[in-house]
Amino acid sequence: MNSKKVVFLFWSTLLFGSVSGGIVGFFINLEVYLGDGIGNLIVGIIYMLGISAAFSLVAQMGFFAYLFLHRFGLGLSKSHTLWNRIQWVLIVFVFFDLVYFRYIAFGKEHSFWGYLFIPTLLFIYAFIVARIKAKETNKGAFVPALFFMFVITTIEWVPALVADDDRWLVLYITPLLVANTWQLLMLHRLIAKP
């Protein structure tokens, strides 16, 4: 992949993540931005785009960190099968932690099932994206794609998870999911030989 493609991936990911998070953030805080005139509306939109751009940058750092981790894991394990098994164990571990530790920390206000809902939705979304990636490339891409979309996205999402604020959960996850999905599904297109 040449530098032109890397620059394209960077700016397109930043754009899609910023716009998606900006739109969702605007509608989440609609009453705030429409309350005090046009100046408040403009500042609110700029703020939402800026925050979402920052989250998109976090997603990009996570993506390139995972590319390094994946190569390192393959080199260390000497086989795709062992590395895939390790990734499955980590997926299950992160799913459990995402449910259990959030329930322990904030469960006094909500039922256990409410804390199972969000990780399940994230896993289903990650599963769908991983299936698309595997279909567009090869079957061997499924587990790494699932790991990236579920585990790495969860790690990137930690600042919002510890806040336990539904608005921040949605505002933070939107640009992360859009940016991570875009990067994952664009990578094989950018590195494909013509």
For residue range 118-132, list pLDDT tens digits in order.
Answer: 899 999 999 999 999
What pLDDT does 52 receive? 93
**Tally of domains within the chain:** 1
In this predicted model, what pLDDT tens digit does every residue of 75-102 receive, in sequence order? Answer: 888 778 899 999 999 999 999 999 988 8
Query: CA 174: distance to chain centroid?
Result: 8
| Residue 110 belongs to some domain of the structure | yes
| Residue 47 belongs to some domain of the structure | no
Query: CA 148: distance to chain centroid?
Result: 8
| Residue 1 belongs to some domain of the structure | no
| Residue 38 belongs to some domain of the structure | no
| Residue 149 belongs to some domain of the structure | yes
| Residue 10 belongs to some domain of the structure | no
| Residue 83 belongs to some domain of the structure | yes
In this predicted model, what pLDDT tens digit does every residue of 162-190 receive, in sequence order? Answer: 887 888 889 999 999 999 999 999 998 98
* DSSP code string of the chain: --HHHHHHHHHHHHHHHHHHHHHHHHHHTHHHHTSS-HHHHHHHHHHHHHHHHHHHHHHHHHHHHHHHHHHHHHHHHSSHHHHHHHHHHHHHHHHHHHHHHHHHHHTTSS-HHHHHHHHHHHHHHHHHHHHHHHHHS-GGGHHHHHHIIIIIHHHHHHHHHTTT-HHHHHHHHHHHHHHHHHHHHHHHHHHS--
| Residue 3 belongs to some domain of the structure | no
Query: CA torsion 5→9→15→21, rounded to 10°?
Result: 170
Residue 154 domain boundaries: 58-191
